[in-house]
Amino acid sequence: MLCEDGKTKYHLILLPGDSDSAEWQEQMDWAKSIGGDLPNRIEQAMLWARLRDQFQENWYWSNETHHRDAGYAWSQDFSYGHQGNDRKSSALRARAVRRLPI
């Protein structure tokens, strides 16, 4: 993966385990507690394209807050591949990732 600067590269590691449905902040805290982070929107699209069999057919939180409304965060549907935004108080699943700089 490339960082936003287009120069810094990193490996994206999908951590084992799947967190049951919970609000966004709870999922962010869960990911941190196991030494990871939630994937961003670009990473989620890549995970959908390459590793969708590692996810339940459900919606998963990203780590990105919506740019126009801080009460919403972006999510990825691992049934059909859609991305959307949901209220942070909604209960969605989560998978954690770890980024290792190259």
At residue 63, the pLDDT reads: 98
Mean pLDDT of the region 63-74: 97
Position 30 in a domain: yes
Give the tens place of pLDDT for each residue, 48-65: 999 999 999 999 999 999
Residue 45 to residue 50: CA distance in whole angstroms: 9
Position 6 in a domain: no
Structurally, the chain folds into a number of domains equal to 1
Position 64 in a domain: yes
For residue 47, what are the domain limits? 19-101
Reported as a pLDDT band with limits 50, 70 and 90, residue 5 is confident
At residue 29, the pLDDT reads: 98
CATH code: domain of residue 62: 3.10.100.10
Position 56 in a domain: yes
